[in-house]
Structure 1
Amino acid sequence: MLGSRLEAAREQAFVGREEEIALFKAALYGGGCNVLYVHGPGGIGKSALLRRFAHEATLAGRPVTTLDGRTLEPSPTAFATAFATAFATAFATHAQPAPGHPDPILLIDNFERIQALESWLRERFLPHLPLTALVAIAARNPPDIRWQADPGWTTALTILPLHDLPPTDAQALLDSCAVPPDLRDPLLTFAGGHPLALLLGAAVAIKDGHASTRWTPHHNVVATLLDQLVGELPTPAHQHALEICAHAHLTTETLLRAALPHDAPHLFRWLRHLPFIESSPHGLLPHDLVRELLDTDLRWRDPDGYTTMHNRIYTHLADTIRTTTDTDVLPAVASLLYLHRNHHTPTHHHHQEGHQEGQFQEDTLHPHDLGTLLRLATTAEGPASARTAAHWAAHHPEAFRLYRRTETGELVAFSTWLRLTEPDDHHLTADPIVAAAWTHARATTPLRAGEHLAISRLWVLPQHRDTSPVLDLIQSRIIGNCLRAERMAWSYIAIRRPNRAWTEHLQRYGMRTIPAQPRLDNTPYTLFVHDWRAVPAHTWLDRMNRLLLGRTTDTPDPTTSDLAVLSQTEFTEAVRKALRQLPRPGALATSPLARTRLIADQAPQDPGTALSDLLRQAIDDLREDPRSAKLHRALSITFLHGTPTQELAAEQLGLPFTTYRRHLTTGIERICTDLWHRELHGADVPAHQST
C-alpha cells in the first residue's frame, strides 16, 4: 500500500533524537513518566518524532491512538469524542495487544491549535486515564507553568524541548537525501540543524541544475519556511515587531520602543511567548533560522522599510554605548557589531561556528594578578613586551582589562587602553610603541588644549589569536572606549605582526597604518591610527552603517567628509579672514572653517551659508551682554553693514578712531575665543565647563 511506502521513506529520513527516543522507551516499558510534553518551533521535527514514538509503540505491541490538533475543535466534548473514536479504531486495527499492555499510547500532535484545552487536559482528562497509559504531546509552545508547579506532576511529566539537530545528525539527514558534497556547506550554512529547512533546501537545491557551492535559498523557499515556522501574524505591528527582533541581536522593550514607538510593552509581551523566541538575561532572541528568514525576506520585500528599521536600531544602540555604564558597554557594543554579522571579518565568525557565548569574562587588574599577567605577556610576545606591560601596570593599572576563561578563571589575554595627555620622557624610553605614537601625533596634527590620545595594546595567548571570542571582547572594549571618549584626538591600536585579514578589517573600518614600525624583542608592531577630530565618532558610525547597508564610501558625502583639524593659530586666522569675507558668502565656502567641527555640528546646509549664519549669530550674541554691547556695535557696523572703510565706521559710531579700533580688536578676539571654544567642546558646553 502507498501508506507503507510513505512510512518507509519517512523512517529512512529520520535521524538523531536518541535521547528523546530513550526517554519514550523508558516510559513505554514502565520505567518512566506518564506524559511526555515535546515542544519546539515549527519544522523542528516534532511530528516526525511522534511518528517514531508510534513506530516504537507498535514494535512493543501497544496500540497507538493519534490525535491532530489541526482537525479538532478546542472543546472538551470534541476532544473526548475524537479520542473515543480513535481509541476504538486503534483497538480494532490492533486486535491482539501484547499481554500485560492493554492500554494504548495516546499521541497528540499540533497541540498549539487546541492549547485552550491545556488546563482541562491537565486537571480533568489525563488524571482519569489508567496508570499504565502513556501520552506524548507535541506543541510549538512550552507547557503552562502550572504543570511544574503541581507536585502531582513532578514525576508523571517529562518536558522535552526540541532543538536543532547537531552537526553529525544534520549531515546524516543530507546523506538520506543524497545531497551532493558541493551543496552541503551552503545548505548547512542556510539551515543549520533545522530539519524542515534542510529537507526543503535539499529538495530545491538538488533539482536546481545550476546550484553550486554559492547556493542560496530562493525567495519561494524563504516564503514557504516562514509560513511553516511563523504563520499568520495578528497585525502589521506584530509583523514589524518580529522583524525588529530578527534584525537585532537581543531585543529589549527599550530597543523595541526606539524602533517601533507605538505599543511596545504589548508587543514585547507577545514576542516573549512565541515558540521560536527565547529569553536570555539581556533580552529576547529568535531561533537562528527564523531570524535569518525574516531578515532576508524583509530586505528583499521592502528595502526602504528595512533600511529605516535598521537605522533606528543602529542609532539606538550607538546612543546606548555612549550613555550606558562601563560594565554594560561590552554587551551594547556586541549588539551593534552583531548588525555586521553578514560582513566577513576576522572576528565574529565564531557566532556561526558553534562557540558558546559567555566562555570568557572581562576583569580589571588586581595586585595579585601581576605575576600571572607578566608570565602571559612573556609567553604571548616575549620579555621586552612583558617589561612594557609591567611599566604600565605600575603607572596606569586602571588602563588594564583582563580576560579569563569563565569556568576556570584562567587568564588567556589582557589589553591596555592608555589615555595620555602629554609625552613623558620616562614613558617614551620604557615603551617604543608609545614613543612612536607621540612622534606621529606631533608630526601630523598635534594635540590641542584639553585633548588626549589613546593607545591600545593586546596580549593574547597563541591559541586564541585567530577567530576567538576573546578577540571579540577586546574589540568591543576598544570600540566602546573610542565611542565614549571625550576630547580624544588620536587613537592607536598596536598589533604584533598583523595578518592580512586583520589589516584589511581595520582599514575597512577607518583605521590606517603609520609608516613607523616600533620593535620589541626585534619584532615589528604595526600601529593602526584614527584621527577622531577629522572623523568624529558620529561620522565614523555613519560610515560603518553605510558599509553595513551595502553602500560604498567612495562617493563623497558632505555629511561624512573628513573634517579639518586646525591649530588655534590657524583657526584664529581663518575666523579673522572669514569675518572680512562675510559680505561674500561664496568665498566663505572655501574657508578652512567650512570643514571644521564648528560647521559640521550645524544643521545640514551649504557650508558657506552655515559659516555666514554662524558668524552673524556670534556677533549678534554679544548684544545680549551689556558689557559687550560696544563690541557688538563695532563688529556689526564693520562686517554686517558693509561700511566701506574703518574710518567711516568710526565716524558713524561717533567714536574716536583709536577707540573704535580697540573695540573692534577686542570684539574680534572675543569672537575667535568663543568659536574656538565651540570647536573644541561643542555648542552645548558653556565656556566655564570646558576646563
Structure 2
Amino acid sequence: MDEIRARTFVGREREVALLTSAGESARKRVYWLVGPGGIGKSTLVARVVRELEARGQRIAQVDGEDGMLGADAFAEVARTAEPSGMLVVDGFEHLEPLWLWFRDRLLPKLDARVTVVVASRAAMPGRWRADPAWSAIAEEIPVGPLGDEEAGALARSLGVAEPRVSKVVAAAAGHPLTLWLTAQHETQPTVGVEPLRASVRTLLDRCPTGAHLDAMRAGLMSVPVTESLLSDAFEIDAVEARRAVQWLAAQPFTTATPAGLRFHSLVVEATSAEELFHDPDHARTTRHRLQDALAKRLARVPRDEVPPLLVPFQRLLAAEPRHILAGVASDWRTHCRAAVDADWPEILASVTRLDGEPNGRLVAAWRSAGDARAVVVVDDERLCGYAVFIEVDVAGRRSVEDPIVEHWLECLRHTGGPLEQEARALLARFFGSVDHHQARSPLVSAIHDVLFSELFWPPRPVVASASVHADAEAIIARPDRWLDVYGRIELGLHDWAVIGIDWRRQTRETKLHALLGRMRGTLPAPRSRPVLGAALRDEVKRVLPRFARAEELDSPLLTCAAVEERTVDGTAAPDALARMLSDVCRGVSAAGHVTEREAAILTATFVHGKERKQLAIAKALAMGYSTYRRHLAAAVERAAREVDALEAAARERAGEIG
C-alpha cells in the first residue's frame, strides 16, 4: 500500500517540504491545511506522516470522522505527540464543536515543541485570523488543484492510456478525487461517480414506503439514522421506523455506529439536493425537522455522545441561508466578540425564544456541548429572520483583549439620555419618527455608533435603541424602506434584544403579523395539521383511490392548509380535497414529472376511470396487471410528493413554517 501511495503521489513539493521541516524551523506551531473535499489534503498529510515516521519522529493522529471522539479522547491522543513530535488532525471540519476548546484549552497544555497540522474543508475562522497572537503561531495553507503536468502524471500512474490522458485531465480540472473517479471510469468502466449517482437515484425511486424514503433522505443529508430519529423527525410509527432502519442496515453503503447508521461519504457527496428533493420547500422542511429531532436527542444523551450528534446538527444549520449581523457574549466579562458571517458555526449558541421560553433546539445542543457563551441565532419559529441577544453590564470596567469589541463596549457604557443628532436621523430613516424614543434607559439608552459598518457588518450603519419599540404599525407602514427590522423584547433586567427580518427573502405582511403576534402572545397557536413527510404522503396514497366519492372522504387531509386555501369561496372541504387531488394527478402528468406510461396510468385510474376496477384499467392500457401495479405505485408516490410540497408551501404562506 505504501508503494502504491508513493507512486500515485504527485506535486505538493512546497507543502511537503514545509511540513516535514516544521519541527526544525519552529517558524509556526500550527499549520491549517484548507481545501474542498477530494482536493488531496488527506493524501498530503499521509505523505508527511510517512516521511516523518521514517525519520523516527513521534506522530499522534486524530481522525475527525471518528463518530465517538470527544474532548477527553482527543487530549489523550494529542499528548502522545509530546515532547517534540507532531499532532495531525484530519477531517478537522467534523470537529467544529471542539474548535474553541482545541485552541484555548488543548494547545496551551501541550508541549510548545509539538507541531500541529490540521486538515479541514472549512477555512480558519475570520475572527481567528484577525487575532495577532494567533496569527503569530498559526499559518493557513490553501491546498489547491493540481497543475496540468501534475494531473497528467497522476492520470498515468492510475493506468490511463496516453491518448486519453489529456481528456481525463481536462475533465478533472485539477481536482484529484475527480481525476481518480474519471480515471477509474476510463480503466474500469463499471466504477465511477455517475453509476453511483444513478444507483442512488434508482434506490430513491424504488423505496418501499415513504418511511424508507425519509430514512434515505436523512442519511444522505449526513444525519446518523436511528429508529428514534425517524419517529421524532417524521412521526413514523415504531414498526415502520424499525423496518426502514433494518432495510437501510442491509444496504452496502451504510455503517452501524453508536450514533446511528451512517452513509458512506462518497454516496452522500454523489447525491445532489435536486435529486433528494424536487421542491426546495420540502427540503427546508425536512432539514428543520431533522434539526429539531437531533436537538431532542442532544438534550438526553450523555456528554461524551454529544460531539458525534452536534456535527450533523451543525451541517444541517450550515445549509440554511443566513444573514448574521452581530453578536456578543451573554456575559461579556466571560467572553466577548464581534461576529461575521464566516464565524457563525463557532458562535451560534443558546439564547431565548421570541416568546420568552427557552429555545430548546439550540439550548440543548450548545449547553450539552459545554459552550453557551456566544449568542447569535436564527429565530426558533423560523418565520423570517434572526435574532441577536446581548447582555451587557454597563457598570463593569473590565478590559477586553479584542480591540473592536472593547471599542463597542465603550460606546455602550457611555450612551444614555437623548439620542445624538446623527443617531436620530438614522432612526428616523428606519422608524419614521423618534419623538417617543428618547427615554433614558438605566442600562443602555441607545447604540448609535455610526462606525458600526467598520465591524464587518452591513454596508450601511446599524442603529437601534434599547428604548425603541417597533410596533406593527411602524414596521408594516414602511415595508419598502426596510432591509432589516430592529426592536426590543423584555427578557429580564440585563437582557436586550434585536429582532431582524430578512426582507430580501420575502416581504410578507402576514409574516410580520405572525412574528409580532407571537412576540406579544396574541397570536393563537396554529391548528393541528397532518404532518409533512412520510405520514402525509402515506395518507395521500390511502385517500387517492377513494377521492372520486368526496362525500365519503374522512381524512386528516381535510384540515390541511392546502385544502383550506381552496375552501375560501365556500367550497366544502371534501370537495376541495377531491379537486386538489384531481389537479395533482393532471399536473404531474402534464408537467412531465412521471414517465408517459405512469402518466397514462394516473389519468386512466384517477381522472377518467374513477369508477372502474384496476384490472379492467390494466387491460384497457394493454399491460399486465403486475406491471400496471408497479407503475401505479411509482406514479402515486410522485403525486403524494406533490401534495406534500403543496402543503409545505401553503403552511409557509400561512406563516406556520418559514
- TM more than 0.5: no
| TM tier relative to shorter chain | 0.3 to 0.5
- Of structures 1 and 2, the one with the larger relative CO (CA 8 A, separation 6+) is 2
Q: TM-score with structure 1 length normalisation?
A: 0.33
